[in-house]
Amino acid sequence: MTEPAIKVKGLSYWYGNLQAVKNIDFEVFPGEILGFLGPNGAGKSTTIKVLTGQLRPMGGAAQILGFKIGAEDPELQAQIGVCFEEKNLYLEMSALENLDFFASLFGIKNANSLEALRRVGLADRAKDRVSSFSKGMRQRLMISRAFINKPKVLFLDEPTDGLDPVTAKEIRKTIKEEAARGAAILLTTHNMFEADELSDRVAFINEGEIVALNTAENLKLKYGKRSVRVRLRDGDDVREEHIPLDGGGSSARLAALAASPDLLTIHTEEATLESIFIRLTGRGLAG
Amino acid sequence: MSLQRVWSLFRKDFALGPRKPFFLFAVVMPVALTLIFQVAFGSLFEPKPRLGIVDEGGSEITAAVRRMEGVTLALLDDTGELKRRVQNNDLDAGLVLPPGFDAAVRAGQRPKLEFYIGGESLASNRIILSVTAIDLIRGVAGLEAPVTVETVRFGEAGLPVAIRLVPLIVFYALVLAGVWITGSSLVEEKEKSTLAALLVTPARLNEVYASKWLLGFVFASFMAAATLFLNRAFGPRPLDVLAVILVAAALNAMLGLLVGVLSKSSTTLFTLIKGAGIFLFAPVIFYLFPDWPQWIARIFPLYWIIEPIWQVSVMGEPLARVWFELAVAVAITAALVPAIMLVERRMKA
């Protein structure tokens, strides 16, 4: 069986008296995208900071590619890529200079930075200063920087946050390509659609704890309620009826409505990740 | 520690330098100060009156002017050249001594004397040169001065203010380039979170610190050398001066690193440097006021770099004269390394 690229056991972190990450366990395998879904302040970014060496773990243990975290080992750092939530680029440098510089820190002699920029649609702005870039362009450059060393493990912290739908779609496509290449990806987001679209598995994190971890499909099957929404003419109005698909007479009722001359439409309804998150935690993803 | 990564980090900072306002500030300010001080004090205190003479007959006046310490003499062959140089303010005044001038004066013939005054010359210089010329002619004629002038000097003989200001300007260049550039470069990486981006690569914190120190060291060395050059204070031993500058730059860059590690934001950095300003600049004040007890200056750490700069560049002393001061400066620099590591550990905790 393939060894996990990221292996986390009982990881904890405190900011003073506040425990931001509470004894969490998870694994991410090569080629897999694990979506960390949770609202702001849930502990997603702190987990990434601990795993990437920005914060020292205060409890538990974690291994990345067999290296124990917290040892500040350049050999490990050479194999990871990080896309921060904050756009921490060198604004006075051009896009090309940014990539060339970071490539040099990885010891990459002839980094094909221009090709990397082409991949995220920035080749024509390669020599422009980053200070002149829009938010979306900066985010694409952040993604490109995270990929410059062809990492085996990628940490992507809210990679499409605040982007327009077109740019977000392009970035998601690039992330999928990296996973297809074999990179293990830990992706944090509070966007349920992104988590659903990108992730092979989803972890719900709330107040520092992982409350559920499974494929999106299994989570929906386990926690969601399937139902059918039927719209019927009611005089001059339209009325809706929701019929849960849970047996217990629902089939008979559905058959009766389907035969009704007032029937307008029938739609199946699937639980969303957000509705499951709310059900499990009692709070929404936006908060 | 990877030297290759330190070099990459240094090159990045060096390339970014000219694109940042505070970097330009560190270059412009010492140059501006040099110009301001030279205009304000240099022309008032330093240059001697400049007299040009075209001596067509081997006058005693020329020999007498040559013996004077207070007048700069330029001997010229041609009256046209003399007039041109006076007009261009290369000379304050010009004197044409025709053949047989001394003999004619002694014979009481009152010969004609051409004396040109530069329109842009200082009034004080014109007066000095006019009175000097009349006095010398009177001497040639064998006449006694109508009064006896006895000169009484009050206070110690000292160096001109323009010279005394050299340590201040050099020090300013060193602090701006060494302390300010090093510290602000590191703090900027913290504020803009680019430090976090660096530290998720194989680059380690000690490599980032080493590159920042190197940046401050190179820049401070260059700015101190340039400032000394602009102030014509490189002295007779340029290699000795260079050695002293390198030690001074190393110490300043290390101090810059310390304040950079201590500061989480530019505001803290400003406050620290402003707060420590008097502590940093105190030794320089003693060069401006030589009557003060000079031993007090030794209390301040940067005395140990400014004294060697003063002695070697301004006073023209050899390196051997300041070996002790330099050794103390190197020791302070070395002691700051564990201090920075300790501060870093405390800040992390």
pLDDT in tens, chain A (287 residues): 588 999 999 999 998 888 888 899 999 999 999 999 888 888 888 998 999 888 888 888 899 998 888 777 888 889 999 998 888 999 999 999 999 999 999 988 877 888 889 888 888 999 999 999 988 889 889 999 999 999 999 999 888 877 788 888 888 988 999 999 999 999 988 888 888 888 999 898 888 888 888 888 888 877 777 788 889 888 888 888 888 777 667 777 788 888 888 888 888 877 777 878 787 777 665 65
Q: What architecture does CATH give domain A6-79+151-215?
A: 3-Layer(aba) Sandwich (3.40)
Q: Over 90: is that where the pLDDT of B110 sits?
A: no
Contact of A80 with chain B, judged by CB distance below 8 Å, is answered with yes
Angstroms from B183 CA to nearest CA on chain A? 18
**pLDDT, tens only, A103-136:** 999 988 877 888 889 888 888 999 999 999 988 8
| Number of domains chain B contains | 2
Closest-CA residue of chain B to A56: B348
Contact of A52 with chain B, judged by CB distance below 8 Å, is answered with yes
pLDDT grade for B348, boundaries at 50, 70 and 90:
low
pLDDT grade for B161, boundaries at 50, 70 and 90:
low
Q: Are A73 and A145 spatial neighbours (Cβ–Cβ below 8 Å)? A: no
- Residues of A with Cβ-Cβ distance to B6 under 8 angstroms: none
Per 3-state DSSP, chain A is made up of helix, strand and coil in percentages (nearest 5) of 35, 30, 35
- Residues of B with Cβ-Cβ distance to A101 under 8 angstroms: 8, 12
**pLDDT, tens only, B228-268:** 888 777 777 788 888 999 999 999 999 999 999 988 888 98
Instruction: Flag whether B149 is in a domain.
Output: no
Of A74, A92, A149, the CB nearest to B204: A74
Contact of A102 with chain B, judged by CB distance below 8 Å, is answered with yes
> Looking at per-residue confidence, does A222 or B152 come out higher?
A222
| Domain limit, last residue, from B141, B171, B193 | B141
Which 8-state DSSP code applies to residue A129? B
Q: What is the mean pLDDT of residues B160-171?
A: 73
Of B19, B196, B201, the CB nearest to A84: B196
Q: What is the DSSP string of B290-304?
A: TTS-GGGGGGSTTHH
Q: Over 80: is that where the pLDDT of B3 sits?
A: yes
Of B4, B12, B193, the CB nearest to A101: B12
Q: Over 90: is that where the pLDDT of B88 sits?
A: no
Angstroms from A128 CA to nearest CA on chain B? 14
Residues B189 and B137 occupy one common structural domain: no
Q: Over 70: is that where the pLDDT of B42 sits?
A: no
User: What are the structure tokens assigned to B88, written together?
Assistant: 């261009």
Containing H/E element for B166? helix B166-174
Residues B208 and B328 occupy one common structural domain: yes
- What pLDDT score does B65 carry? 87
Instruction: Flag whether B36 is in a domain.
Output: yes
Nearest residue to A52 via CA among A11, A100, A97, A10: A11
- What pLDDT score does A284 carry? 64
Of B4, B16, B193, the CB nearest to A92: B16
Q: What is the mean pLDDT of residues B87-104?
A: 88
Contact of A218 with chain B, judged by CB distance below 8 Å, is answered with no
Of A54, A56, A72, the CB nearest to B196: A54
**pLDDT, tens only, B191-233:** 998 999 998 899 988 899 999 999 999 999 998 888 888 877 7
Inter-chain touch B8–A104, beta carbons under 8 Å = yes
Residues B117 and B195 occupy one common structural domain: no
Residues B167 and B305 occupy one common structural domain: yes
- What pLDDT score does A285 carry? 59
Inter-chain touch A82–B15, beta carbons under 8 Å = no
Instruction: Flag whether B235 is in a domain.
Output: yes
Contact of B79 with chain A, judged by CB distance below 8 Å, is answered with no
- What pLDDT score does B44 carry? 42
Q: Over 60: is that where the pLDDT of B310 sits?
A: yes
Inter-chain touch A75–B202, beta carbons under 8 Å = yes
Containing H/E element for A238? strand A237-244
Inter-chain touch A88–B12, beta carbons under 8 Å = no
Residues B20 and B63 occupy one common structural domain: no
Residues B109 and B189 occupy one common structural domain: no
- The span from the CA of A139 to the CA of A164, in Å, is 11
- The span from the CA of B322 to the CA of B16, in Å, is 36
In this prediction, the answer to ipTM > 0.90 reads no
- The span from the CA of A89 to the CA of A128, in Å, is 13
User: What are the structure tokens assigned to B232, written together?
Assistant: 């014509």
Residue spans per domain, chain A: 6-79+151-215, 90-139, 225-270
pLDDT grade for B276, boundaries at 50, 70 and 90:
confident
Angstroms from A99 CA to nearest CA on chain B? 12
- Residues of B with Cβ-Cβ distance to A91 under 8 angstroms: 192
Parent domain of B69: 47-141
Residues B76 and B205 occupy one common structural domain: no
Instruction: Flag whether B13 is in a domain.
Output: yes
pLDDT grade for B326, boundaries at 50, 70 and 90:
very high
Residues B52 and B111 occupy one common structural domain: yes
> What pTM, to 2 d.p., does this model score?
0.75
Angle between helices B123-141 and B60-67 (to 10 degrees): 130
Instruction: Flag whether B153 is in a domain.
Output: no
- What pLDDT score does B84 carry? 92
- What pLDDT score does B152 carry? 62
